[in-house]
Chains A and B, each alone.
Chain A
Amino acid sequence: MKPKHSPARRNRTQRLGFFFLRLVAIVAVIPIIAIIAYIVYKGAPALSWEFITGFPSDGMRSGGIWPAIVGTFFLTMLCALIVAPFGIGAAVYLSEYAPDNRWTQSIRIAIINLAGIPSVVYGLFGLGLFVIFLNLGISILAGSLTLAIMTLPVIITTTEEALRAVPQSFRVVSRSVGATQWQTVRRIVLPQALPGIMTGVILGLERAAGETAPILFTAAVFFLPGLPSSVLDPTMALPYHLYVISTQVPGMSPEIQYGTALVLLIFVLGMNLVATIIRSRARARRQW
């Protein structure tokens, strides 16, 4: 069968195609580079030891953001402690134990729907259930619980993916030498899936750390004279702090605004880096 166009023409078409694909790829990367570059440029001058470890003063116009950093850290950590056991446990059940029937399919649909709920709706839900009904008040605990529910579907999905990536042949071999289903999960499947699970948890927490809406009504306050002393205390938090000083405080220096944004960015990108390191080291050491 003779091709319709000459080799030269086909070559040109191919090179044109590759050129546009490369262009599109570069365009896709530009926004993230631009954002990081801009925030680093405008916010780096604000970074100093006092800024990171000091308390705000003069109505937030000067001083440091230490309580916001600590607050975000506590919220993220407590969220992790709550969401990890439930999310990983649910994923292990769905992936390794649940039969493929209507009931299981409904659970999966529910999880997908949960992932699509806007974060401000989670915030309102958290206000109603944790702050008001369970009487936790505006507190780290209410905020972390709200963040945990928001993060749950992501954890379940990425954990299931990590579990599914473990070859089925390992399970068959394990059962064939007399191990039980639980022994197989505990000794082979979970350990092999662990790097993937950890990556998923970190990326899920990354989103929780940076969200404003879920903690808006449930945990965050504008100003605290000191650090929170228990999980029932409210707290300052980086995303909320950034929102407030960018919109509600007259006479705010842009340097401090960008400095706060930069700290939040470093926090989040730092988690990304940890996840990437875990993933690449695990890939190198993988025995399959």
Chain B
Amino acid sequence: MNTKNKIVTENLVLQYSDGTESLKDISLNIPANSISVLFGPAGGGKSTFLRILNRLNDLANVKQVSGKATLYSDTGELLDILAPDLDVTSLRRRVGMVFARPVVLPMSIRQNLTYGLEAAGERNKNRLNEAVDRSLRQAALWDEVKDRLDDPAVDLSGGQQQRLCIARSLALEPEVLLLDEPTSGLDPISTGKVEASLQVLKNNYTIILVPHSVQQAARAADYAAFFLQGELIEYAPGKEIFTHPTIQQTADYIEGRFG
């Protein structure tokens, strides 16, 4: 498979203010237009790694971050993600994030979707409506909400809210989509819908997913990275790592000997 890299990270180290070291020397390449899965037990550093990629760690009590992370943008430019003078609001539009608990803003469905675009300065009603339409279809939510776009988003069910959160990120037409345990609160049917839409989305976006189970990881992964206690233990294509892991710890985790 001819894969060019979307994100390249080198020697990432992150330490929180309370002294806990969250990432110890992570070097990982994320290929474009694929689903890369970061899996492993809790506290492994997976969420921390995600939050470095859209600089959301700026909002937390981080003592120190070092290393290099580069985004290979669709426009051809190379963005140094950790650069202090980087325009982070622009980065966050290119690298979207979906969190574990669906958090809808206290507004209508439509306003939730146009919020990011309006913050970026978009005023054209047609473009905003087009974004609402497109993102809801991409998130497999259009049919369920097309008649009530101006209703409060909080009235939706949990699964619908989470798909709305996915649509909210997609409305900005990002290049990368980060998903941190997006289906952990969802029933199996909603989970299935989300996983199915990710398979379609990867054709146009690069997806990095932290799954809530090893099974989900195995279902979704084109590439998978095993994180343990802040270290990257093993990284390989999905087909290989879940059937023939090369490192003992990876095998132990996948087979449920610890977790």
Contacts and interface: CB of A to CB of B under 8 A. Distances in A.
Partners in one complex: yes
Given A169-B101, A183-B119, A178 B106 contact: no
B101 A177 contact: no
B92 A177 contact: yes
A175 B106 contact: no
Interface in A208-253: none
A173 B103 contact: yes
A16 B252 CA distance: 60
A57 interface: no
B215 interface: no
A176 B101 contact: no
Given A172-B56, A172-B59, A187-B115, A180 B89 contact: yes
Interface residues of B, number: 26
A178 B154 contact: no
B89 A178 contact: yes
A103 B54 CA distance: 31
A192 interface: yes
Instruction: Please provide the 7 A-B residue pairs with the shortest distance between their CB atoms, ordered closest to farther.
Output: A177-B116, A287-B106, A179-B119, A178-B93, A178-B92, A178-B89, A169-B103
10 contacts: A172-B99, A173-B105, A175-B59, A176-B56, A176-B96, A176-B97, A177-B172, A287-B152, A287-B154, A288-B106
B106 A177 contact: no
A287 B115 contact: no
Contacts of A177: 92-93, 96, 115-116, 119, 168-169, 172
Contacts of A188: 105-106
Interface in B45-63: 54, 56, 59
Given A170-B103, A176-B56, 7 more contacts: A172-B59, A173-B105, A174-B105, A174-B115, A176-B96, A178-B89, A287-B152
A286 interface: yes
Interface string B87-103: 00110110011010101
A176 B119 contact: no
Contact of A178 (B103, B107, B116): B116
A187 B105 CA distance: 11
A172 B92 CA distance: 12
Q: What does DSSP make chain A's interface, helix, strand, loop or mixed?
A: helix
Interface of B: 54, 56, 59, 89-90, 92-93, 96-97, 99, 101, 103, 105-107, 115-116, 119-120, 152-154, 165, 168-169, 172
A177 B172 CA distance: 8
Interface in A152-201: 167, 169-170, 172-180, 183, 187-188, 192
Contact of A179 (B89, B103, B107, B153): B89
A178 B168 CA distance: 12
A173 B99 contact: yes
A189 to B, nearest CB: 11
Interface string A254-288: 00000000000000000000000000000000111
A159 to B, nearest CB: 19
A139 to B, nearest CB: 44
Contacts of B119: 174, 177-180, 183, 187
Contacts of B169: 177
A175 B115 contact: no
B205 to A, nearest CB: 15
Contacts of A173: 99, 103, 105, 165
A179 B172 CA distance: 12
Nearest to B155: A287
Which residue, of B54, B90, B105, B168, has the highest number of chain A Cβ atoms within 10 A? B105
Contacts of A187: 115, 119
Contacts of B116: 177-179
